Amino acid sequence: MIRLPIIKPKRNSLLDGITPIVALDIGTESVKSLLFTMGEYGVSVNRISRIEQQQHAMRSGIITNLDTVLDNCKLAINQLVTNLKPEEYPKKVIMGIAGEYIQGVSIVVNYEREEHFEKEVTKKEQDKIISEVKSQIAVSGREDLGLRTGLKNEDIEILHITPTGLEIGGMPVNTLVGYKGRDVKLNFYASFAPKTYTEALRKVATSLNFDVLGIVSQPFAVARAHSGGSHTNFSAIFLDIGGGTTDVAIVKHGNVADTQMFAFGGRAFTKELARLTDADFRHAEQRKIKYSNKELPKEVMRQVQRSMYSTAGLWMRTLKVALENCDDIGPLPTQIFLCGGGALLPDIKNSLMEFPWKKYLPITVVPKIDMFTPNLLGSIVDNSGDLQNLYDITPASLAKFLYDMEVDRTTKDINWEV
């Protein structure tokens, strides 16, 4: 029997088991949302909503028609609060963000305690160490994204700078407080985004009368939501294939080592199928879904497969380029987890299995490929009975991110705020 740690939340903590919160994933193809609470043992998912988006609402994971997206979000929230009493309505939201201009980087910092290293670290000293490191990351991260996008520093927002691992004297610890040692090692994940993207999300939240608890890099959240994601012996590549983008996260030894995002998702498959069959987008999308579920006649299945196979090959070549850009992390993990609606296409998995990995990428063996199904989520209990799909992983991951942040704040005295 596994004994879970009992978390005693502080006053005003969100870990009270009763505060309703919304996780909102505004995707290219659909708005997905969860209504959840957080308690001492984790996240409780109580309701799930999914609203299909119109073609003009989003492009490559970014809002292009704010009014349309807002209407869809209102429909999603209305579904979540149906039959609830007004006092039970959620007032807080955690939101996800993705896209090619979302910068994510994993950082390892070695810090030497020059004075009184023979004494135990105090809460004040830990705060000082983390604050100094975050300040340095904030400056360098903005500069990196500015160079890549041409944006000025003032046009770039820090989403979150998250501690993902702490060591003192060579020993992994949950908090530095109470430990002695000279050498401190800190692992962080820092995420940055153009302010135009985050301002659009905040406008949505304001229109819904929500307080924003955080805007989170989705690939990071997905990688950390796996039940083994933070274990030191865990390494994997996570591929979240949405409608407009594919989000890549590489975990090595329990730390998110790198993230990449590229504008190639399920919508590209639909558009190619529509072109080849001279059909409109909606009919092509329906045919693609039926193809994934093996619900088409054999002759039509073969016709669709030809289109899907060639597009999947192009997607795989784009993924190869993204993985080549992760050139500072050493050999790639040999386990791949797929999630997102695009992962339902069998040709995605087939293209991964057929690719000559060892010929083109730093990997020791051909990777094992599995689906990141909801039963693999850590610290999440589904009370709705509806958390069953690959495309629900991202909103559930946002809830898990918030839970981890609140646990660190209330039990480890580590504040993730910038």
pLDDT tens digits, the chain, 418 residues: what are they? Answer: 333 344 444 556 899 999 999 999 999 999 999 999 999 889 999 999 999 999 899 988 889 999 999 999 999 999 999 999 988 899 999 999 988 788 887 788 888 888 778 889 888 888 888 888 888 888 877 777 777 777 787 888 888 888 888 899 889 888 888 899 999 998 888 888 899 999 999 999 999 999 999 999 999 999 999 998 778 889 999 999 999 999 999 999 888 989 999 999 999 999 999 998 889 999 999 999 999 999 999 999 999 999 899 999 999 999 999 999 887 889 999 999 999 999 999 999 999 999 999 999 999 999 999 999 999 999 999 999 999 999 999 999 999 999 999 988 887 666 655 4
**What is the rounded distance in angstroms from the CA atom of residue 317 to the CA atom of residue 335?**
19
Tokens describing residue 370? 């599995």
User: What pLDDT is stored for residue 242 in this prediction?
Assistant: 93
Beta bridge partners, 256, equal 251
Predicted model pTM: 0.91
Q: Exposed e or buried b for every residue in 266-279, given b needs 16+ CB within 10 A? A: bbbbbebbbeeeee
User: What pLDDT is stored for residue 144 in this prediction?
Assistant: 76
- Cα 99 to Cα 66, 103, 158, 208, 240: the distances in Å are 17, 9, 15, 23, 12
> Tokens 């030497």 correspond to what residue?
112
> Tokens 């619900």 correspond to what residue?
295
Helix (H, G, I), strand (E, B) or coil at 290: helix
Closest among 191, 194, 198 to 212, alpha carbons compared: 198
> Tokens 């004075």 correspond to what residue?
115
User: What pLDDT is stored for residue 115 in this prediction?
Assistant: 76
Cα dihedral sign for 290, 293, 295, 298? positive
Helix (H, G, I), strand (E, B) or coil at 172: strand
**What is the rounded distance in angstroms from the CA atom of residue 47 to the CA atom of residue 36?**
7
Domains of the chain: 21-100+195-230+374-411 (3.30.420.40), 103-192 (3.30.1490), 236-371 (3.30.420.40)
Number of H helices, E strands in the chain: 10, 17
User: What pLDDT is stored for residue 189 in this prediction?
Assistant: 86
Surface-to-core class of residue 242, CB atoms within 10 Å of its CB (0-12 exposed, 13-18 middle, 19+ buried)? buried
**For the CA atoms of 77, 93, 388, 336, what is the dihedral angle to 10 degrees?**
140
